[in-house]
Structure formats: structure tokens, C-alpha cells
Amino acid sequence: DVVMTQSPLSLPVTLGQPASISCRSSQILVYSDGNIYLNWFQQRPGQSPRRLIYKVSNRDSGVPDRFSGSGSGTDFTLKISRVEAEDVGLYYCMQGTHWPFTFGPGTKVDIK
Amino acid sequence: QVQLQESGPGLVKPSETLSLTCTVSGASIKSSYWTWIRQPPGEGLEYVGYIYHTGITNYNPSLKGRATISLDTSKSQFSLKLSSVTAADTAVYYCSGEPRLLDIWGQGTMVTVAS
């Protein structure tokens, strides 16, 4: 299976400051259709996951533009330009290229 | 707006079969793939498997052949059966959409395996 690693696993941030989460895959994530199926999800406490970013850098409808995704090859990044209180939660990267599709362990974002 | 809703027993005995249903509204179940994912308490997310509207399925090998996903287009539902359950199958089970993209999620349903 493709192993997804994330760092850091815990990220205390100051309101209004930027935050960055790294995700690394154990294999290249380019699928035969040319797409890179690397997605990012937010899971607020007590809620189901919500997709923020799909195929590396495409922001979902309704997701604030302070969230952005980037990366290539095996290294990907989720950035929050200015953290707000509502951003507290777990963030997961996930690869949808190699079956079984797999998630990273999650990064817990909270406020300092 | 597409919505997914899981339903099923919250408690299953060890060695028995877990059965869950996901009802799809706001979209045709014949239009896409449909996925089951689970999350043990305090842990991360794991794919169970997915089904295409043609009936083609794919399962996580980690489940060792215990999972079966089926479709009922007349009810706009898809279902999960997981046989020979153990305490390790205790989790919140989510239904979702296209497996490579997971654009939509249900609210999840907690299933506990205990006698």
C-alpha cells in the first residue's frame, strides 16, 4: 500500500498566523489519466470529513481562499494563510491513485 | 445538493455480520461510484471499498474478503455487509462518493462490535 506521512502531527498556531502541513507519499501519485489524485480533508471535532482541496491544488466550492494546496511528485503541502478559530481540527491528506487508496495519519491543528 | 445518509444497527455481536445502508438524495445513484470508509475511535481513516453503478466493486485487501458492497437503484441506496466482525471493526462508518475524490460524505454512523 502507498504510505502517506504527514508532518507535523500536531500544529499549535496563533490566530491570524500562517500554517503549513506537509504530506509525503511513498510512491509517485500520477495516475494513468495524467491526474494526481492527492486530496486534503478537514475534520472538525465531532464532524465528518470535508474535502478542502482536490487533485493537489483545486479548492472546493465554499472553501475560504486562505486554504491552498501545492506539490508534485511525492511531496505536497496544505497552507492556511491566516488561521481562524474555525480552522481547528484534524487535516488529512489522501491519495486516490493507487488502490487501496490511503490517508495520512492526520495533523491536529489547534490554537495556541 | 447531493446528500448521503447512513443507517443501520449501532451494535453488532462478534462473529456476526455488520450491515449498513447509505441513502443517496439529490443525485442519481446510477451516475457515479459510491464508497464506504471507516474510522475507528480516535484513529485515522480507512477505505473499505467502493461500487460503480454497473455493479463493479473493489475492496480493501486488508478486509480479507469479508466485505460486500451492493446497490439498490430502485431505492437509491447502496449497502455494506462486513462478515465475521471482531472488536477491531468497531468504527464510525461513512458513505461517500467517487472514491478517488471523496467529494461528498455522509454524517457517519457508529458501529460497536461487542457481546
Give the 3-state secondary structure of residue B31: helix
Interface residue of B38, B45, B51 to substitute, partner A, most A CBs within 10 Å: B45
CB within 8 Å: B62 and A100: yes
Find, in chain B, the residue whose alpha carbon is nearest to that of A90: B44
Q: Give the closest of A48, A92, A99 to B105, CB-based.
A: A48
Residues of chain B contacting A, Cβ within 8 Å: 44-47, 58, 60-62, 94, 99-103, 105-108
Chain B hits for A62, CB-CB cut-off 8 Å, are none
Maximum separation of any 2 CA atoms in chain A, in Å: 43
pLDDT in the model for residue B31: 82
Name the average pLDDT for chain B.
96
A102 touches chain B (CB under 8 A): yes
CA A107 to chain centre: 9
Segment B10-39, tens digit of pLDDT: 999 999 999 999 999 999 998 889 999 999
Please give the full DSSP string across B57-69, using - where no structure is assigned: EEE-GGGTT-EEE
Average of per-residue pLDDT across B103-114: 97
Chain B hits for A96, CB-CB cut-off 8 Å, are 99-102
- Residue matched to cell numbers 491519495: A95
Q: Can you give the pLDDT of all 112 residues of chain A as single tens digits?
A: 999 999 999 999 999 999 999 999 999 999 999 999 999 999 999 999 999 999 999 999 999 999 999 999 999 999 999 999 999 999 999 999 999 999 999 999 999 9
A38 C-beta neighbours (distance < 10 Å), count: 25
Q: pLDDT above 70 covers what percent of chain B?
A: 100
Quote the minimal CA–CA distance from B102 to chain A in Å.
7
Please give the full DSSP string across A86-101, using - where no structure is assigned: GG-EEEEEEE-SSSSP
A32: CB partners within 8 A, 6+ apart: none
Cα–Cα–Cα angle for B83, B84, B85, rounded to 5 degrees:
95
Segment B3-13, tens digit of pLDDT: 999 999 999 99
Q: For residue B87, which phi and psi values (nearest 5 degrees)?
A: -60, -25
Q: For residue B88, which phi and psi values (nearest 5 degrees)?
A: -65, -15
How many whole angstroms separate alpha carbon B47 and alpha carbon B62?
Answer: 9
Find, in chain A, the residue whose alpha carbon is nearest to that of B38: A48
pLDDT in the model for residue A32: 95
Find, in chain A, the residue whose alpha carbon is nearest to that of B100: A96
Question: Residue B45: how many CA atoms within 13 Å on its side-chain side?
Answer: 32
Interface residue of B32, B35, B47, B60 to substitute, partner A, most A CBs within 10 Å: B47
